[in-house]
Structure 1
């Protein structure tokens, strides 16, 4: 599974960061899903290898502008680029009103059907592209949600080493075993398919959260999750000074939660534009990282625009 951050800034863009947008896909597939679509997302795509023709779905965590104002333009560009395949749009129901209003006023017509799924009507898991997705309600100034992406297991892989060890010659028999069919060899041996198929293990899971000032609401969602992507808009000092009225999480808040919940990998995003990453920046991004590392012992990343990460089969998250 791969993550690519198209925008990591909170509220408004900075010189080096665009507003919220995160792509997720299987490592072995062209198809992908987009979580949030802040203004300028389609421009960020020009610097990636992602194609709007292979976009399975757009999922919007909440209706604040830095998470959704890029959607009408992205849909228009997809249409002008020749897309005809249906697209799934998962979002709060009010977003449908916005998209249809913009399309009506601007006389924009999409050459592909949009299948709209209102989050308010969603229960359980829904298949979206290559994933089974579930939702968790969060706490923010408007209804906000997290999406849990569970990979759909593909065909089990053959245990090539065992086949070679038992001197089973490569040929049609290997294909039949992979299809789950027991095979009788010419030397009289009967091979049980189950003995030659590797255990895929539990599906990998990545949780991508929208804006949220109560990380504990994710307790159930992160159980068994390999990665949590969550906002760290500011440090705890700033949160305390503002009495956390914007209802965001500080780096300390989410780090404490992730440590307590046993989340193995934490990626921080949605960072206030006040934090710069230059050597003389005040305040600096390093303050957020230092605060998070003081409370979290797992693998930590501060996402940057166009950064990519891969969740390997061994369930380790590594930058690409």
Structure 2
């Protein structure tokens, strides 16, 4: 499971960070999925391997502009590029109104259908051939969600000794069993894939959270997850000074939760524009990493725009690029 950060800034962009967007793919880039779409997301995509022509679905965590203002431009550009395939948009109902209002009042058209799915529905669940997606309600100034992505298919391993003991010679039958298909032999025997194969590992699962001041709301989802991507808008000192109204998390809050939940990998993102990454600048963004490391012993990363990661089959997290 690969993902690339398209924007890591909270509220407004900085010279080095765009506002929120995350590209996610299960294998390769066809298809891929977008989580949130802040202003300028389509421009960020031009610097990556992801194409709007292969985009399968867009997941919006909540209605705030730094997570949604890029939608009209991205959608209309996809149309101008010749997209005709339908596109699922999983979002609060207001996002549908936003998109329609911009399209209708800008002399724009889309040459492909949009399939709007209410992310706030009590029975929300989405899947395709690669991923199952559920959601968790968070705590923010408006309704907000975390999306839990779980891979649907884990490759099976053949039980060679059992196949050989039952006189099943190597060949196409083995391939069908490995793909999860039962096989009826010419001699009338029905071979069950579950009997001759095993699934050697759990499905990979990752949580991509929207804005949230109560990380503990993810406790249940976190038990079976291998990665949490969560906002860390402030340090704890700044969060205490700003007060509760913005309803964001500090690096310390998220790190304490991830440690208590036993999450092996944590990526922090959605940083206040006050934090800088240039050498010698203050306050430096590394302050957030230092704060989190005091409370979390797993594998920790601070996201940067265009950082690409892979959640490996052994559930380790690898950064694929460095800059």
- Change in CA separation of 1:65 and 1:192 when aligned onto 2, cut-off 3 Å: closer
User: Within 5 Å, which residues of 2 pair with 1:6-155?
Assistant: 6-28=6-28, 30-128=30-128, 130-153=130-153
2:156 matched to which residue of 1?
157
SS at match of 1:120: coil
2:172 matched to which residue of 1?
172
Moved over 4 A (4+): 160-170, 182-185, 190-196
- Change in CA separation of 1:201 and 1:158 when aligned onto 2, cut-off 3 Å: closer
- Superposed displacement of residue 271, structure 1: 0.7
Contact preservation (8 Å) 1:133, 1:147: yes
- Superposed displacement of residue 301, structure 1: 0.8
In structure 1, distance between residues paired with 2:191 and 2:117: 46
TM-score after normalising by structure 2: 0.90
TM-score after normalising by structure 1: 0.91
Q: Deviations over 1:38-91 (max 9, x none)?
A: 000000100111111111111111111110000000000110010000000011
- Change in CA separation of 1:164 and 1:243 when aligned onto 2, cut-off 3 Å: same
- Superposed displacement of residue 258, structure 1: 0.7
Q: Deviations over 1:125-177 (max 9, x none)?
A: 221563211111111111111111111115x4343976999998753343243
2:223 matched to which residue of 1?
223
Contact preservation (8 Å) 1:183, 1:192: no
Q: How many residue pairs align between the two structures?
A: 316
2:291 matched to which residue of 1?
291
Q: Answer with 164-173 or 246-255: which moved more.
A: 164-173
- Superposed displacement of residue 183, structure 1: 6.2
Q: Are residues 1:237 and 2:237 paired?
A: yes
Listed as ranges, the gaps of 5+ residues in structure 1 are none
Contact preservation (8 Å) 1:184, 1:191: no
Listed as ranges, the gaps of 5+ residues in structure 2 are none
Of the three residues 180, 183, 194, the one matched with 1:181 is 183
In structure 2, distance between residues paired with 1:118 and 1:124: 7
